[in-house]
A = this chain, B = another copy of it.
Amino acid sequence: MVDNPIAPMTDDEAWEALRSHEFGRLAFHLLDEVHIVPINYAVDGSHRIIFRTAEGSKLLGVEMNSDVAFEIDQYDDETAFSVIARGRATTLEGSAAYIADNLPLRPWVPTEKYNVVAIAVSEISGRRFRLEKPWTSIHTT
């Protein structure tokens, strides 16, 4: 018990981790399938995850079913963390979409993405892991 390698974050810590990163993975429904894609994102002042997207299966998927999950993580040889959020995705229309211009929302790949989507987060959980990789002392991967 005292040696649990997994420690939960507080909600504040999980949000702080989300705010201090900009790359994660979105899981969404597309008809009866589940899909996952990497995205750049930013967090706005209303506890929403904001991202841009082109037309395509991602936009179609969230417009047909707004239930989504989102994950970020980071690791080194000894520690890792993961934050998972779930919520509802909405495509922002008109002036609402301009919020993206005032966020540190920086696409890493300069393709055209005209649509702005906001995930209103209903659940968030973060965990820190203490890793045990005895094999890294034998050979590096």
**Contact residues of A with B, CB < 8 Å?**
5-6, 22-23, 25, 27-29, 32-38, 67-71, 73, 75, 80, 82, 84, 86, 106, 108-111, 129-133, 135, 141
Are B34 and A68 in contact, with the CB atoms below 8 A? yes
Q: Which residue of B lies closest to A28 (CB)?
A: B34
Are A111 and B5 in contact, with the CB atoms below 8 A? yes
Question: How many copies of this protein are present in the complex?
Answer: 2
Alpha-carbon distance between A49 and B36 when the two chains are bound, in angstroms: 16
Q: Which residue of B lies closest to A141 (CB)?
A: B22
A54 to chain B, nearest CB (A): 11
Identify which of B5, B29, B75, B141 contacts A110 (C-beta below 8 A): B5
Are A33 and B129 in contact, with the CB atoms below 8 A? no
Given known contacts A22-B141, A108-B129, A133-B106, A71 and B36 CB-to-CB distance under 8 angstroms: yes
Alpha-carbon distance between A131 and B106 when the two chains are bound, in angstroms: 11
Given known contacts A108-B132, A131-B108, A133-B108, A27 and B22 CB-to-CB distance under 8 angstroms: no
